[in-house]
């Protein structure tokens, strides 16, 4: 079997050429990073959990009519997705003050916002993914005005879907990040949700206890990241409730 051609390797995923034109294989790694990769570790089973959870969320988006790049999960660590041109922005939707927003505005973490707040960051690791305004986006041509209207609509629709799903299993959706891709059909272009949706890209708090079930567990040294992600997967029915966190397989002689 021929080796697949690597297209790109990021902090949490590696992308390979897909088996057919217009497709990409997305491989989920166990690498965990925080603070723009200043903190790093390898968390056994993290990639498997994120692959399964992202499949769950992307299929959910499809079922409610929100276009995305997901085609199918191939195995425990890989999924087949549509090729798209990534808009160079991180789109962040915040329902509660947390993280950098709480720091910037001097707000207590967990303060409910009067309405969902959508923020944009330029995708550039070397610059630390700086916060940008719609004026910056228009001036530098990263997206058109029509694109921005469509991106805002997509982001809020994803927020409605995720908030409802999480609330149903006792989890508060504090905030999340998505990426948007452009796909072309002749002269026609449309925008879709791309990359992944997982506890790596969301802040998830238990509604009753406030326990963090997302990457803040790693950022703040609050315990086992795989335990937190496994809890999310169990509540959503992605994993059986009696399942144990993912680890490396044991070889038997």
* Band of pLDDT at residue 1, cut at 50, 70 and 90: very low
pLDDT at 35: 76
- The answer to whether 72 touches 79, Cβ cutoff 8 Å, is yes
Of the candidates 83, 70, 78, which has an alpha carbon nearest to the alpha carbon of residue 50?
78
Residue 21, pLDDT > 80, answer: yes
pTM: 0.91
Kindly state the percentage of the chain with pLDDT values over 90. 87
* pLDDT tens-digit series, residues 190-242: 999 999 999 999 999 999 999 999 999 999 999 999 999 999 999 999 986 66
* pLDDT tens-digit series, residues 77-94: 999 999 999 999 999 999
pLDDT at 252: 42
pLDDT at 245: 54
Strands 112-122 and 89-96, by their bridges, are: antiparallel
Among left, alpha and beta (phi > 0; psi -120 to 50; other), residue 164 is alpha
């Amino acid at each position: 079997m021929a080796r697949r051609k690597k297209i790109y390797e990021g902090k949490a995923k590696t992308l390979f050429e897909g088996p057919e034109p217009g497709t990409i294989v997305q491989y989920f790694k166990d690498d965990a990073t925080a603070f723009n990769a200043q903190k790093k570790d390898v968390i056994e089973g993290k990639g498997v959990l994120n692959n399964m959870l992202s499949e769950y969320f992307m299929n959910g988006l499809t079922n409610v009519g929100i276009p995305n790049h997901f085609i199918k999960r191939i195995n425990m660590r890989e999924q087949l997705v549509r090729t798209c041109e990534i808009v160079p922005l991180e789109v962040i939707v915040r329902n509660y003050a947390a993280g950098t927003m709480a720091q910037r505005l001097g707000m207590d973490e967990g303060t409910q916002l009067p309405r969902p707040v959508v923020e944009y960051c330029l995708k550039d690791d070397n610059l630390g993914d700086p916060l940008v305004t719609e004026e910056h986006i228009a001036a530098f041509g990263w997206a058109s005005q029509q694109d921005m209207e469509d991106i805002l609509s997509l982001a809020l629709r994803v927020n409605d879907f995720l908030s409802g799903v999480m609330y149903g299993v006792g989890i508060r959706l504090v905030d999340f990040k998505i990426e948007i891709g452009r796909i072309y059909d002749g002269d026609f272009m449309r925008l879709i949700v791309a990359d992944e949706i997982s506890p790596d890209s969301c802040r998830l708090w238990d509604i009753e206890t406030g326990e963090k079930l997302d990457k803040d567990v790693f950022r703040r040294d609050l315990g086992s990241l795989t335990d937190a992600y496994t809890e999310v997967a169990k509540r959503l029915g992605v994993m059986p409730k009696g399942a144990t966190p993912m680890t490396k397989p044991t070889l038997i002689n």
